[in-house]
Structure 1
Amino acid sequence: MTNPSDMRGTDDAAKLQQTTDPSANPVLGAVLEDPALADLDVPAGDARSIESMGRGELLRRRFLRNRSAWVGMIIFALLVLMAIFAPMFYQYGPFERDLRNALTGPSAYHWFGVNENGLDIFARTMKGLRISLVIGLGTAVLTSLLALIVGIVAGYVGNKGKWGAIADGALVNLINLFLVIPSLLLLMLFSPVLQRATWLLLIPLLALFAWMLTARVLRAMTQQLVRTEYVEAARFMGVHPIVTMTRHIIPNIASWIIIDTTLGVSGAILGETGLSFIGFGIQYPQVSLGTVLQDYNISAPYTWIPPAIVLAALVISINLMGEALRDALDPTSGSSRL
């Protein structure tokens, strides 16, 4: 209850709050015990802002204070802008031939040079970068969605009696079955067939053989969460299982899912590039970074070094952002700071 005779202002209260022992202030003490905030210098009059800072704002500040995050975002943004706008203004298309300048190095007309078939390497690299980005992002999202559904359902129903144990065992056996399937051979078998329809079908094909390990981790995390008091209370109150999963389980594992999805983009890009390089991925009339590298000439380094650098920069930038995001979401990480 407020004391009417207390005429101190908010700034005085903030100063008092700063000089008070954190153990006497549960809110401020809990914040200052966070390793990520251990080196924080609280400006005068801003002690109230620490208490009121939301989780999203805290994560944003941690993420943006990481230099790796900025490096990754800048490189990734430049590559995305190049993939979108470069083909619009470049004078050559990915399948236009200049046989007069076949197997010539970089020049003012051909920025990355021309391969032995007379195709401009820069035009093909930018076109392939577009498709590789779409496949990488789409595959990562679809993989996380499949893993989320299977992992959460298996972990939630595992302790729900006899039928729950049967359902959990069936899903675990399904995961183990996909783990022992020779995925590379099946991708090589079905990829050319699906390519005749549309190259976008490569996204579910890659996701079909990439969700199992993530699902096992999500199952284990869900099994721990279903034993918590708030989940048990929701079950005794008759809350629908889907509501319990969406409100109480998914938010508690969302940070791990975000990190796994981010890092999964680079894995999907490398998987598609590898398939295309050996001739079982993206095929004519489309082009990806793998098909650009497929036309390499070992005696002409310009035919493979520029697209390889673009691929490496893309994968490294995504991994840098993923590592920075993991550090921001992990309060025990020494690199996370407010």
Structure 2
Amino acid sequence: MTNPSDMRGTDDAAALQVETDHRANSVLEGMPPSEAEPPEGDVRSLESIGRGELLRRRFLRNPGALIGMVVVLLLILGAIFAPMAYQYEPFERDLRNALTGPSQYHWFGVDENGYDIFARTMVGLRISLVIGAGTALLTTVLALIVGTVAGYVSYKGRWGAFVDGALVNLINLFLVIPSLLLLMLFSPVLQQASWLWLIPLLAVFSWMLTARVLRAMTQQLVRTEYVEASRFMGVNPVTTIVRHIIPNIASWIIIDTTLGVSAAILGETGLSFIGFGIQYPNVSLGTVLQAYNIAAPWTWIPPAMVLAALVISVNLMGEALRDALDPTSGSSRV
């Protein structure tokens, strides 16, 4: 707080400028710019840089981020446009060339059922991308709702502790449920339905660990002065969570969502590989790998490489994003 007895007028301000400005002070005038003023790349030159621009610089400085973005972009473009331009359909048979290797007509070869592997891989990649992104977003939404509510109400007396305990027990219950067995149980029921039902099924059994982390982070933020002031002023709890809590944990949420895409893709691929995921007349990377022949490497190496490239590139982007958002990492230097 300003001391009333220490108020300064305009004359004092002008004298202070003369003392500190090297252009108006004869003593500082002869000093080199590096000693009289901060260098161009110092803090003063960064005042005009917004947070978004700062994160973009940190993110693009990481070589893994560039590699991941290029690979993901190429795979997305291939999944969208390759099935349109390719001459074979995913379920079009060519029995005369069954179990033949890559050629100018069949780029990835043909499996023993006469299906073109490249056509099935690109269509399967499209479905796997949709399931991975949709599952990651839905998982984040579920974890965000449960985690922030549990952490916010935990300090609201007896009823708050009761709600927090109920939500924690719900998380623990879903953690001990054998999710794979339940997914296999529901699979025959949903075989006649749309493959999009796999997104909520995977998300229902994937949100628990994220919710526990968000609950712990929310409990720390509830103790801060601005959140307590908001509560004492009678602000709606939903407004407080949206305005003060979620923005402070948004960085971790973005990172977790990005890494959750690859986890969802692997989960869907595993279910489809054992026959409990994507079913005919649709195809995914898991169903392509399901028709492998160990004696014919072209039946499983190309789709496996596409899957590995997708998962690794998404993880590279997630790691680079984490380093960009983490102020303690080496990439935080501008």
The one-letter code sitting in structure 2 at the alignment partner of 1:134 is V
The one-letter code sitting in structure 2 at the alignment partner of 1:306 is P
Distance in 2, matches of 1:187 and 1:152, equals 27
| Alignment partner, residue 325 of structure 1 | 321
1:299 paired residue among 279, 295, 301: 295
Do the aligned residues in 2 keep the contact of 1:65 with 1:337 (CA within 8 Å)?
A: no
Offset of 1:197 from its aligned partner?
1.1
| Alignment partner, residue 70 of structure 2 | 74
- Please say if 1:51 is aligned against 2:47: yes
- Please say if 1:242 is aligned against 2:222: no
Do the aligned residues in 2 keep the contact of 1:195 with 1:201 (CA within 8 Å)?
A: no
1:268 paired residue among 264, 268, 272: 264
Distance in 2, matches of 1:145 and 1:237, equals 28
Offset of 1:51 from its aligned partner?
1.6
Deviations 1:146-202 (A, max 9, x none): 000000000000110111110000000000000000000001111231231100000
The one-letter code sitting in structure 2 at the alignment partner of 1:186 is L
Offset of 1:42 from its aligned partner?
3.8
The 3-state SS of whatever aligns with 1:247 is: helix
Do the aligned residues in 1 keep the contact of 2:61 with 2:331 (CA within 8 Å)?
A: no
Using a 3 Å threshold, how does the CA distance of structure 1 residues 242 and 326 change in structure 2: closer, same or farther?
A: same
Map 1:135-150 → 2, pairs under 5 A: 135-150=131-146
| Alignment partner, residue 6 of structure 2 | none
| Alignment partner, residue 98 of structure 1 | 94
Using a 3 Å threshold, how does the CA distance of structure 1 residues 18 and 284 change in structure 2: closer, same or farther?
A: farther
Distance in 1, matches of 2:79 and 2:155, equals 49
Offset of 1:49 from its aligned partner?
3.2
Deviations 1:85-137 (A, max 9, x none): 00000000000000000000000000000000000000000000000000000
Offset of 1:254 from its aligned partner?
0.2
Offset of 1:278 from its aligned partner?
0.2
Distance in 2, matches of 1:199 and 1:69, equals 31
User: 5+ unaligned residues in a row in structure 1: which ranges?
Assistant: 23-40
Using a 3 Å threshold, how does the CA distance of structure 1 residues 103 and 162 change in structure 2: closer, same or farther?
A: same
Distance in 2, matches of 1:214 and 1:336, equals 25
Do the aligned residues in 1 keep the contact of 2:59 with 2:65 (CA within 8 Å)?
A: yes
1:88 paired residue among 84, 88, 102: 84
Distance in 1, matches of 2:236 and 2:67, equals 44
Do the aligned residues in 2 keep the contact of 1:66 with 1:336 (CA within 8 Å)?
A: no
The one-letter code sitting in structure 2 at the alignment partner of 1:162 is R
Using a 3 Å threshold, how does the CA distance of structure 1 residues 278 and 5 change in structure 2: closer, same or farther?
A: closer
Distance in 2, matches of 1:133 and 1:313, equals 13
* Higher RCO, Cα 8 Å, sep 6+: 1
Do the aligned residues in 2 keep the contact of 1:139 with 1:206 (CA within 8 Å)?
A: yes
Using a 3 Å threshold, how does the CA distance of structure 1 residues 99 and 251 change in structure 2: closer, same or farther?
A: same
Offset of 1:20 from its aligned partner?
5.9
The one-letter code sitting in structure 2 at the alignment partner of 1:212 is M
- Please say if 1:182 is aligned against 2:178: yes
The 3-state SS of whatever aligns with 1:95 is: coil
The two structures have a TM-score, normalised by structure 2, of 0.90
RMSD: 2.4
User: 5+ unaligned residues in a row in structure 2: which ranges?
Assistant: 1-9, 25-30
Do the aligned residues in 2 keep the contact of 1:192 with 1:281 (CA within 8 Å)?
A: no
2:213 paired residue among 188, 213, 217: 217
| Alignment partner, residue 205 of structure 1 | 201
Offset of 1:53 from its aligned partner?
1.6
Do the aligned residues in 2 keep the contact of 1:157 with 1:165 (CA within 8 Å)?
A: yes
The one-letter code sitting in structure 2 at the alignment partner of 1:62 is R
Q: Name the larger-Rg structure.
A: 2
Offset of 1:280 from its aligned partner?
0.2
| Alignment partner, residue 305 of structure 2 | 309
- Please say if 1:60 is aligned against 2:56: yes
Do the aligned residues in 2 keep the contact of 1:135 with 1:268 (CA within 8 Å)?
A: yes
The 3-state SS of whatever aligns with 2:307 is: helix
| Alignment partner, residue 288 of structure 1 | 284
The 3-state SS of whatever aligns with 1:96 is: coil
| Alignment partner, residue 159 of structure 1 | 155
Using a 3 Å threshold, how does the CA distance of structure 1 residues 108 and 68 change in structure 2: closer, same or farther?
A: same
